[in-house]
Chains A and B, each alone.
Chain A
Amino acid sequence: MPVPLRYNLRSLFYRKGATFFTLIAVALTVAVLAILLAVGRGFEQSMSLSGRDDNLMVLRASASSEGESVLSREDVNTLSGLSQIARNAAGEALFAAELYAGLALERTTGGSTNVPIRGVSARSFEIRDQIKIVEGQMFRPGSREVVIGKNLKDRIQGCRLGGVVKVSNENWQVVGILDAGDTAFDTEIWGDGELLVQIFDRTFYNSFIFRAAPGTDPGLTPEKSPTKVATGLVKYISDRLGAVKILSEKTYFVDQAGFLGGTLSAAAIFLTVLMSFGALAGLFNTFLAAVSGRTREIGALLAIGYRPMHVFLGFLAEAVLLALLGGLLGILIALPFNGIKTGTTNWGTFTEQAFSFRVDQSVITSAIILALLVGLIGGVFPALRAARLKPVDTLRRG
């Protein structure tokens, strides 16, 4: 018969000090893990949801981000004639040549950053149909007006409805705020592409994006799934305007997440491993002391017929229970971070990236797994020691 759980539960409250210290140590460890994971999740989420599978981007083969890609006006003309471009109800081809650069602006909390600015063309919004103007209105083509992503609002100076952002030596009016569903576009400023190309003193665009038409010539279009771009199309274009690469918009953003995302998850793993050791040590010490302090109790349990296995499981359960309670407390500590907006520079693109902390199911699952592991590993040795005690010895002592 197993040792009643009630016995272990009440034992936890017997040594209040040790239980409390260990509980807090586990809770804080789990909280740090959860908070770090929440940052990583928030960032990755914002990137992985950013693009559509059937929006294809054409970039220079050697460019690792839009900002590094260079497409001339002639290149754009050639590309716009592709037969694989889908058309809307009005029969207009869904493509856009875009400029992507950073605009040096001040954060409201001080310090400057490079906010991504996208020079867009007529079809840009239609291609990204998940983006909606939630306040104000669209900029008028050809005017010195911009719309800004909602994650820039109040975080960057001038970024609010009716505000002004400085583009070179001109003041551009913020006329609208867009919501792209917490994606990378929510950190971008959008303005008229033609005008911005002139302001940035350029004769070229950065990227060409188009919606893939369903079921076009199999030799040139992506086979079956639009994410798998057939090499035929790449070759067809590269032959005409030099080496390019084509990738789905979704793949592009997931790739861009890699740089900062990798840094953040490396930091999470590193801190968690180091910190878990503290929590483990706390649990271990507490239970070793508990076993030696309760030697006579354990002797009594064994003497009245509980099997060593039951004593082992009882102590292990006690440790796991304590760690799980700590884990729950840790999650409670991390929960208020959910939804907090923050921003940093993604050094892969050199531009500001804003995102929200996300304490979601996967973060909570990882936190509970960590607590369980700490409980199991920290509890197993003391529990073994308890199970190996000889009843005669323990009762004779003291």
Chain B
Amino acid sequence: MNIPWRLVLAHTKRRWLRSTLTIVSVFMTILIFGILRSFIVGIETSVAEASSTRLVSASALSLFAHLPKRLEGEIAQLPGVEAVTHWTWFGGVYIDSSPDHLWGRFGVDVPSMRKVYGPDLILDDEVWKRFEENRTSCIIGADLAKDEKLKLGDRVKIVGNLFPGTVDVEIVGIYQSKVRSFDQKTMFMHWDYMNELSKSAGGRQDIVSTFTMLLKDPGQAGGLAKSIDTNYASSSNRTLTQTEKMFQAQFASMWGNLPLFFSILGGIVIVACLMVTANTMMLNARERVQEVGILKTLGFTPGSVSTMALVEGLLLCLVGGALAMAVVRSFDGKMMMFTILTVPWRTIAEGLAIAAGLGLLSGFIPALLTHKLTILDAIRRRA
């Protein structure tokens, strides 16, 4: 079947305003789809790329409660544990308490952090060393540096609330992350330093938020998690130990129905767009009834005439879809609502497939009508 491409192009150009508007509608729709999808994929990826060979222990009460630091020694003694490190959520206020300045800041133990999380991060040995040696230093993620316009050597002051006292630390390193489960919008400082500050201000001391264990044999994760939790089951520090993957999944599930809700809205948006593209194709078909008659008289088969209608719709939608996905792709890796927007090729393919689907569906009825139209009817009828 031969498709007269020049005719298809001429058609789209003839009603250029209509074609442009249709392309822009598809563009907006696929843009909405792409952004919503990259958000949901981002949440999923943060779980998927999390390690299942590291274990995280937190208080079984909730992330609001702490564990005593002294458990570190006990956990390190357990067979199968290669290394233990700990993170403590500092909270506090940087500049003001607006959402813009609400990012994670943790107190950590540098040498063990390097052992357990080092492989996930891009950070020079020298920087690790500088971080370790300077008690009032910190490292921050590359996104954080960008968003807060911070650079090496700058000092960061955070007024404590959970832990009293104001931390004042120098940025000695800016890390990048190799995995999407480790965001680039966090600050790490010395736990010793924040603990001392809190202690001298009469606040809480010697507590941590979570312990992370690196295992000798990943196969033992399940057994080890169980033995840690049984150890502390009857104490006042009941623990909940999970793989890092499960730990991340808990944050993902905190969104509740929101991702589903946005998916449903995304679906409605696509249907609305179908109405717009279908309308365009129907209007086109209606105006071209006589032309169809002429084309058929000239010897174009019914098949190629209706394929033209299909191809035209497909073309408009694919142009809009491709432009939108190009924009969406540029969002890859950006943070939105605590989530790293993630745009794999799969999402791009989905966006293009939806655009193609819009094109085919909207061209379908016009193509069918065109196919059935006899020459006589077509030429007799007035546009």
Contacts and interface: CB of A to CB of B under 8 A. Distances in A.
- Real complex partners, A and B? yes
Interface string A266-298: 010001001101110110111011000100000
Nearest to A201: B236
A111 B61 contact: no
Contact of B276 (A32, A39, A103, A278): A278
A70 B162 contact: yes
B93 A101 contact: no
B255 A345 contact: yes
Interface stretch (A44-52, A57-65, A78-86): A57-65
A68 B253 contact: no
B99 to A, nearest CB: 5
A201 B237 contact: yes
B1 interface: no
A338 to B, nearest CB: 15
A61 to B, nearest CB: 8
Given A21-B276, A281-B24, A113 B256 contact: yes
Interface stretch (A22-30, A140-148, A303-311, A315-323): A22-30
A344 B261 CA distance: 11
A344 B92 contact: no
Contacts of B99: 258-259, 262, 347-348
Given A21-B276, A102-B63, A286-B279, A70 B25 contact: no
Interface stretch (B27-35, B208-216, B307-315): B27-35
Nearest to A259: B99
A25 B275 contact: yes
A36 interface: yes
B10 interface: no
Interface stretch (B173-181, B186-194, B265-273): B265-273
Nearest to A100: B64
Contact of B161 (A60, A169, A293): A60
A351 to B, nearest CB: 8
Contact of A102 (B62, B91, B253, B271): B62
B298 interface: no
Contacts of A258: 99
- Tell me which of B60, B65, B203 has the highest count of chain A C-beta atoms within 10 A of its own C-beta: B65
Contacts of B92: 62
A345 B268 contact: no
A54 B275 CA distance: 53
Interface size class on chain B is 35 or more
A247 interface: no
Contact of B65 (A109, A200, A344): A200
Interface residues of A, number: 67
Interface string A1-44: 00000000000000001100110110011011001100100000
B61 A167 contact: yes
B282 A17 contact: yes
Contacts of A181: none
B269 A70 contact: no
Nearest to B271: A28
Contacts of B255: 344-345
Nearest to B101: A64
Given A68-B161, A271-B32, A342-B261, A114 B279 contact: no
Contacts of A277: 24-25, 28
B379 interface: no
Nearest to A277: B28
A256 to B, nearest CB: 11
A32 B257 contact: no
Nearest to A276: B28
Contacts of B164: 70
B254 A274 contact: no
A343 B64 contact: no
B330 interface: no
A140 to B, nearest CB: 22
Interface string B261-301: 11001001101110110111011001100000000000000
Nearest to B258: A344
Contacts of B265: 32, 35-36, 271
Given A68-B161, A169-B238, A289 B64 contact: no
B272 A285 contact: no
Interface stretch (B14-22, B71-79, B115-123, B348-356): B14-22
Contacts of A271: 32, 265, 269
Interface in A318-364: 342-345, 347-348, 350, 352
Contacts of A167: 61
Given A70-B162, A113-B253, A348-B99, A285 B61 contact: no
A101 B253 contact: no
A168 B273 CA distance: 51
B5 interface: no
B62 A285 contact: no
Interface string B37-64: 0000000000000000000000011111
A34 to B, nearest CB: 11
- Tell me which of A22, A62, A398 has the highest count of chain B C-beta atoms within 10 A of its own C-beta: A62
B272 A28 contact: yes
B283 A18 contact: yes
B364 to A, nearest CB: 13
A209 to B, nearest CB: 18
Contacts of A114: 62-64, 254
Interface string A83-105: 00000000000000000011110
Contact of A18 (B24, B62, B161, B282): B282
22 contacts: A21-B276, A21-B278, A22-B279, A24-B271, A28-B268, A36-B265, A62-B161, A101-B65, A113-B256, A114-B64, A169-B233, A271-B265, A278-B276, A281-B21, A284-B21, A285-B21, A285-B279, A286-B283, A344-B254, A345-B255, A347-B338, A348-B99
Interface of A: 17-18, 21-22, 24-25, 28-29, 31-32, 35-36, 39, 60, 62-64, 67-70, 72, 101-104, 107, 109-114, 167-169, 199-201, 258-259, 262-263, 267, 271, 274-275, 277-279, 281-282, 284-286, 288-289, 293, 342-345, 347-348, 350, 352, 398
Given A114-B63, A168-B236, 11 more contacts: A64-B97, A101-B65, A102-B63, A109-B257, A169-B238, A277-B28, A342-B256, A342-B257, A347-B338, A350-B64, A398-B382
- 3 tightest CB-CB pairs across the interface, nearest first? A111-B253, A64-B97, A28-B272
